[in-house]
Amino acid sequence: MNVRRFYPVLLFALAACTQPLPMEDETSRPPLPEASYSKALASGAAVYRILPAQSLILVRVGRAGKMQRLGHEHAVASEDVQGLVEINEDPSASRAHIVFPIRNLLVDKPEYRQRLGLDAGPSADNVAKTYTNMLKVFEPQLHPWVKAQARLVTDEGEQLMLAVSITLHGASFEYRLPVDLEVDIDRLVVSGKATLKHSDFGVMPFAAVGGLLRVADELEVEFRLVGRALPRS
């Protein structure tokens, strides 16, 4: 199969409040437009469902401030990436919706720290505190999901470029990302890297000691999303 005939779409990126608010179900009901993709499948498009067990979004969270040497860099990962990808021979008709829940993010799992070349890392108690601080920043009771919508913008030789609109903490920002693609009739794999910023979404990174030690604005993200083709009826 000629991979270049297909143009997928993807991704991608990356956590409480004092007043009680209704909780949205964050894990059992991902906010995906299932009906729209079912319609596309019925019309003859190739539609792939992202497989969480085979997909990963991994974020390197840096440190900043005059006292940054006293802090740690962190590896934050989602092993619960869900989504749908539609591929058409007409590139402009291809698209993807990808989501993952904030509360299920993993902080400093040893294998991910090793993968990013980080040291052994903080203690279990400090990891728990980091997770709690992340939830305070991203407020999952208000904004449970990180969401991404993507479309092809250019096909430059062997390099696919996607326009990816990411919604985090209730704000959206669009990035243009180069990606690598493997696709056949049954399986799709999209991978790449990106740099996001807290400030792109109006988010103030966690800080301590009056701001002398804080989380860096930039987030270095790498991703690998694996999809399985949905059967046509």
91-114 pLDDT tens trace: 778 999 999 999 999 999 999 999
Q: Are 16 and 134 in contact (CB under 8 A)?
A: no
pTM of this structure = 0.83
**Would you kindly state where each structural domain of the chain is located, as residue ranges?**
3-13+31-229
Q: 218 pLDDT exceeds 60?
A: yes
Q: Domain 3-13+31-229 adopts which CATH fold?
A: Lipocalin (2.40.128)
pLDDT at 71: 59
Q: Rounded to an integer, what is the distance from CA 7 to the centroid of its chain?
A: 20
Nearest by Cα to 221 from 209, 200, 170, 229: 200
162-210 pLDDT tens trace: 999 999 999 999 999 999 989 999 999 999 999 999 999 999 886 665 6
pLDDT at 20: 35
